[in-house]
Amino acid sequence: MAYKKNKKRQVKNVDTVVAHVQSTFNNTIVSISTTDGDVLLRGSAGALGFKGARKGTPFAATQIATNLAKEMLNMGVRVVEVNMKGPGSGRDSVVRALQSSGITVSVLRDVTPLPHNGCRPPKKRRI
């Protein structure tokens, strides 16, 4: 197999981005994309070194957002739209951390999927 030379990553100058926050009880995952949908940055609590139950905490979510905010400021990002998904405790702390780092949050959307009486529930337990 031929050796492939890695291309150097370009720093893109983007003004407005979309932050997709998936917050579960076990973890918080944040990905930053352009308005077209091209992912620029991503981060999670596990990638920062949190393990076990600490990944789902608001503190871990704050650390994720502050790390991503530093990189976003280098790209020239000023305005963020936030799409939040899931029931976890890291939802609000991500938004607070983004605002405190000097980035303007223009839109807050809750995109948690809700079933329209989807799957049939399991049968009742007989004890």
Q: In CATH, what number is assigned to the domain containing residue 88?
A: 3.30.420.80
Round the CA-based radius of gyration of the chain to a whole number and report it: 18
Shortest CA distance to 39 belongs to which of 59, 19, 25, 55? 19
pLDDT, position 1: 60
pLDDT, position 95: 94
What is the pTM assigned to this prediction? Answer: 0.83
How many domains does the chain contain in total? 1
Which of these ranges, 1-5, 36-40, 41-45, 88-92, has the smallest mean pLDDT? 1-5
90 in any annotated domain: yes
56 in any annotated domain: yes
Structure token digits, residue 122: 């399991």
| Residue 5: band (very low, low, confident or very high) from pLDDT cuts 50, 70, 90 | confident
